Structure formats: C-alpha cells, structure tokens
Amino acid sequence: MQAILALEDGRIFRGQGYGAPGESQGEVVFNTSLTGYQEIATDPSYAGQIVVLTNPQIGNYGTNQADNESAKPYIEGLIVREFSPISSNWRSEQVTDEYMERYAVPVLAEIDTRALVRHLRTNGVMRGVISTTETDTDVLVAKARAIRKMDGTDLARVVSTKSIYTFDADDSRNQSDDKLLPDAFVHAKDSKLLHVVAYDFGIKQNILRMLTREGCRVTVVPAETTAEDVLGLKPDGVFLSNGPGDPEPVDYAVRAIRNMMGRVPVFGICLGHQLCGLALGGKTYKLKFGHHGGNHPVKNNATGKVEITAHNHNFAVDPDSINANEVELTHVDLNDQTLEGLRHKTLPLFSVQYHPEAAPGPHDSHYLFRDFRQMMEEWKG
C-alpha cells in the first residue's frame, strides 16, 4: 500500500502505508522518544496532530491494554522510518499494524524521517495530509492548506469526558505492569486518603495512577465544570490535566481557576500549567516546533538539579508576562529557556509544563505528585 505525505508548503514525502487505509490530516509534529509509541498514540494531547517518530524502528514490541493512556488513539496519523510487521515482546497482545488499523490510524513508513524532522525544525510545524488513496499531490497540498490551524482552537472540550466519574485504580483496565515507585504504594496504604478532583482536558491514565499511588481518591470532571461545582465536591485538592490545542480559547477553565485560587490547593501540568499562567494574568504563545519527547533537560531553580523530563506541548507561558512579585518561576528548559514551572508565593498553587507522570519514563519528576499531597496536607492542617 503506497502512501503520501503532503505538507502545506508543498513538500512531498512518498512511502509505504500501514495501519488504516484512507486519508487523514492534521498538524505535523515530531517526537524524539525512543520508546512509548503506544502511550504517544493514545495521549489525548495529540488530538488534531500527525506524529513523526525519530526512533528508526517502531512497532517491534507490539501493543497491550496496560500501556494505553486513554481508551483509543488520538493521533491523526503516524510517520516512521521502519514499521515492524511483527511484535517480539512477552507483554504484546496485538501487532502494532493491526492495532493502528483497528483504530483507523494511518501509518506512513519507509520515508526519510530525518529529512522530514529537519524540515519541521527549520520551518516550524505545519499542516499536512497522509493519503493512500489520492495520488495528485497538488490536491493533497491544497487540502493541507485548508486544514484549520491549531492557533485559536479549543480541543480540550472535544476530548474531555462528558460526565463525572471516579477513577478505580483496582480496575484491571486501569493497572499498569510497570511497578513505579514501590514506596508510593506503602505511603498510600499508611496514610489517609485525600480527595482530588481532576479536570479532564485530555487526562492520561498514568496521571490518575500516580495520584492514587500518593494516597488520593480521584474524581474526574469535564473540562467545563465550574469552580463552584468542583468545590461542592469538597476536594482536598484540584488537579488540572494536560490537553490539546490552544490554551487561550479555554477561557471557561481560566475563570474556574481564578475562582478556586486560595480556596483549595491546585496542581496543573501541561495545558493545566498554561491555564494557570493565564489565570495569573500571564500570556501564552506558540512554539516554533513544540516540545515532544522523553529527553528534555529541565532545571529546578530551587534545588539547582537538572531533571530529564517528558514533554508534549506546542504552547508555552511567556515568563515576562508573569508578575514576579506574586509568582515564582520554578523550572526552566535548558534547551531553549522555555518556562517549565511556576508556583504562587502565597497561595497553594503550582504547575509544570512538562509531564511528571511520564509513561514510560523518565521518572525524575515523580516527586511533584508527593509535593502536591504535602501541599494538601498542610492546607488541611
């Protein structure tokens, strides 16, 4: 099955098609992670995007239910150098090609992904179309140029849960084979459960697992839930999740955060961090090609330590727009000096731009979930 990628600037890549036949479109971004292709595919933060993976071979360890970050893949398409037709791993339950076909995700392989990534790094992320049916490249380029831009697009309400639910860590569907931080399990058993209300802007399963491992009972609410409705659930803390799209149109969440600040401890990551920045009077902007990968060095300004972290974001908070008298800038990306964390100096609120839950890794930043629990305990005390 032949497949074509057409970018909005007219650049064409031809290769071999796998997964679902047909056509898909979205913003083309690249991810530098060496493993975790299933977690990437099922991360709702990738809604509306086609993902290029820089690791040369993808699919070789198959797929399994435990590694899903949500119920289904959210990527619009996958682009790789070599796509393995077989899986060789004792945990594999389904060959990756069959998995992608099952969920209607097209895969483009056998192209020079180095050239594509270099093109995106030089020119910035751009809209593109993958097709196994249309051969006229002019038609495909025109379709790419007609795709709605990510700027100004609210996707959080699209991927969010439609109803409130309680996360059940004992449900086999919500368990992972990776026994992360065994001391966290002991901590959870020996401590009183704290009630966390988690906003779902595109929340990942491993975030929910990490919260429960820190002794939290988690209630998940839709993105548009008001502050009063959340406070009516009597939480010990509120978590703001990751999610796709531009943070600025998510004004309903910004209003909710402002109404909760100082009334309950708040912890946000990724989109949740950007929304905290907006709620504190800051501004956000779009990065040239975003941060997507599991190897970003982030400096903790308080300790001086450098954490290797997982990222998936296209937008960032402008540090110059934050009031330094009220807010401490806690983390910075050492690759490009992007703001990666903030903490209010007097109110119980902190957030980070990267993903401390990081499935499948790295695990350097897991301590942030414990910091959140400590903040809730101090607020209660």
The tens digit of pLDDT for each residue in 103-123 reads 999 999 999 999 999 999 999
Q: Name the residue ranges covered by the structural domains of the chain.
A: 2-146, 156-380
Return phi, psi of residue 309, to 5°. -130, 160
Is 82 noted as a catalytic residue in this protein? no
The superfamily CATH assigns to domain 156-380 is Class I glutamine amidotransferase (GATase) domain (3.40.50.880)
CA nearest to 195, candidates 223, 179, 218: 218
**Cα separation, 75 vs 44, whole angstroms:** 8
Q: Stretch 66-78: mean pLDDT, rounded? A: 96
**Cα separation, 353 vs 23, whole angstroms:** 32
Q: Stretch 176-188: mean pLDDT, rounded? A: 52
**Active-site hit among 119, 355, 363, 366:** 355
Model confidence at 168, pLDDT cuts 50, 70, 90, reads confident
**Active-site hit among 340, 357, 363, 366:** 357
The topology (CATH level 3) of 2-146 is Glucose Oxidase; domain 1 (3.50.30)
**The pair of three-digit structure tokens given for residue 252, joined into one six-digit string:** 């309903």
**Cα separation, 37 vs 55, whole angstroms:** 10
**Active-site hit among 270, 276, 292, 331:** 270
**Cα separation, 353 vs 244, whole angstroms:** 13
Q: How far is CA 220 from CA 111, 113, 195, 225, 280, in A?
A: 41, 38, 11, 10, 24
**Cα separation, 344 vs 325, whole angstroms:** 9
| Residue appearing with tokens 């700027």 | 151
pTM of the complete model: 0.94
Is 357 noted as a catalytic residue in this protein? yes
Under 8 Å between Cβ of 224 and 377: no
Q: Stretch 306-317: mean pLDDT, rounded? A: 97
**The pair of three-digit structure tokens given for residue 130, joined into one six-digit string:** 């993958």
Under 8 Å between Cβ of 242 and 211: no
For residue 381, what pLDDT is reported?
75
CA nearest to 27, candidates 155, 138, 115, 132: 155
Is 291 noted as a catalytic residue in this protein? no
Cα angle 125, 351, 172 (rounded to 5 degrees) comes to 85
3-state percent breakdown (helix, strand, coil) of the chain, nearest 5 = 30, 30, 40
pLDDT digits over 184-203, tens only? 545 555 678 999 999 999 99
Residue type (1 letter), 264: V
Asked if the model's pLDDT at residue 170 lies above 90, the reply is no
Q: Before 85, cis peptide (omega within 30)?
A: no
